[in-house]
Structure formats: C-alpha cells, structure tokens
Amino acid sequence: MSRALVVGGNGFIGAHLVAELVAAGWDVTVLHKYEQPRYATMPAAVRFLRGDLTQESLLAEAVAGQDVVFHLLWTTTAIHEVANRDPAADVLANLVPTIHLLEACLRAGVGRVVFTSSGGTVYGRTQIAPIPENHPNNPVNAYGVSKLAVEKYLQMFHHLQGLDYVVFRPSVPYGPYQNPLARQGAVAVFLYRVAKGLPLTIWGDGHISRDYFYISDLVDALILGGERPLSTNRIFNLGGAEEVSLNHLIRLVQETVGRQADVEYQPARDFDAPRVLLDTTQAQNELGWQPKVLMKDGLAKTWQWMQETIL
C-alpha cells in the first residue's frame, strides 16, 4: 500500500484527491488547519493532522514514512490581489513554509513531491497558444512569482540532493466543492450568482479566455504524477480541450441554469493574463493523461451538485 500526505487535503482540490486516493487503496494523511472540507466529508480511513507548515514538529510527523507528498496548500489562491498588495507577506505565508516542507521531505526520505503550480500565471502574457512548458516564464502577479519560485526550489533540491518531484501547471479546474462565494473560481461563482439573480462582475470586455477543466481530470493527473515513473521532464501543463471566454462561459451558465445573467463590466485588471490555453501534449505522451469531461457535461455536474448541496 502506498502512503500519501496531502497538504491542504480539505480544500477544493484536496477533498477530491483524498477521496480518490482512499478509494484506490492508498494510506492517506491530511495536513490542514480545517478539520473537514467545506462541502464534503473526510473519509473515515484518513489520518488527520490539524495545523500548517510553520509547525516544525507537526511537519516532521506528517512527512515521516510517506511515499508521496501532494502539496496543494496556498493561502492566496482565492484572491490573487492579496499577494499583489503585500508580496512580502505572500512570500512569508507561502514560499517560506513550502521550503520548510521540502526540507522536511528531504530529511524524511519522501519518495516524491507533487506540487500544484499555476498554468494561468507562471507564463504571464504570452504571444502564442497553446502554451508549451518551455515557454518563457514572465509572471505578472505576485502569486505567479511565488509559484514559480517553488518550482525553482524543487529543481534545486532535485539537482543538489536528489529530491524527486513533479510540478503540475493547471489552467482553471472547476467542479463540486468549489466555493461559490469566493472571488476566484468563475464557474462556481457564475452558476451561483446567476441562480440567485445576483450580478456578475467582469473585469474587461469579457474576451479573457481560459481552458477550464473538470476537477476529476485534475485528480487523475495528480495520482498519475504520484505513481508513474518519469523521464527527465517533471513539469506538466494541465488544461481542458476547449478554450472558453468569459462571455461564452456566461452564455453556457445561462443555458445550464435556465436564467439570464445580470452582467456588470468593469475596467480590465493589469495582472490578468488575457488568454490561457495550455499545450498538454507532454502530459499526454509521458503520463497517458488527457481531459475526459467536456465543458457542458462538467457544468451540468457542477450545477447538479450545487442544487443538491447549496441552493
């Protein structure tokens, strides 16, 4: 039986990953400051450690004996503006604790670290699409800079001390358990606000586009990243097969909910990449991964969950 630590295991992505790992027979430990996921229930078989990466003794206990450590925790994921307003605080809250985690993994002899970076921010403003992994990295917000810094530390620890790792750069995952009251996460937020008759705020003209992909596709990739032998490539883009603008997403949400949206357009923000369409060929060739859930089907699944759970 493989052993896994999921750091941030009670978050949106983590709750799905933990459930799938348990179902596949993994021995799972969750390290998180919240005792339960927001909209799900932690499987009974999971060992839970309450805390964060700043607690040295707890961190040592968490990583001991682990085959794979999945690092999903990031304090500024929900609102990227927070990192921009105080980059130093972002470094202290996210980058420094992550370095402590990597050092603890080295001391404990962890088999592999799987890190979720950000395909939507580490590349910055790009001129080509789809974007390959070897595209220059020029992030334009503090969130992307910190994520990229973790990638570089992983590469350094691998080169100097042999730490095995995988970096995933996901585009925009969505699905059940995503908080519809957050500032980020357009699919869940749009579904909820349209259903409630609340206005949608669009920054710019709505032509910003992303290759959204369903949460189960992301979880599939994470587990493959924990299991598969790797070549020299350890960084993989993940995204959907469809590029969807915000205006088109609004139309899809209206069709799914059966109600018109009240849309308010505001001036564009300079830290938003205008287009994110990732080339996932490398993940397909080396991990055997590809997105399976079409956007319309993922929206329907998310809408059904929201009706049953929140509305």
End-to-end CA distance of the chain: 39
Q: Residue ranges of the alpha helices (H) in the chain?
A: 12-23, 56-63, 80-85, 87-90, 96-108, 142-161, 186-196, 215-227, 246-257, 281-287, 295-309
- CB burial class (10 A; 0-12, 13-18, 19+) of residue 127? exposed
Q: How far apart are CA 311 and CA 309, in angstroms?
A: 6
Question: Two tokens at 208?
Answer: 């910003």
**Residue 117, both tokens:** 């970076």
**Out of 143, 174, 192, 212, which one is annotated catalytic?**
143
Cis, bond preceding 267 (omega within 30 deg of 0)? no
Question: Which of 92, 76, 131 is CA-nearest to residue 281?
Answer: 131
Of 94, 142, 105, 119, the closest CA to residue 271 belongs to 142
Per the annotation, the verdict on 212 as an active-site residue is no
DSSP state of 138: B
Please tell me the distance from the alpha carbon of residue 32 to that of residue 22, in angstroms, as a whole number: 17
User: Which tokens sit at 299?
Assistant: 């929206």
Active site residues: 143
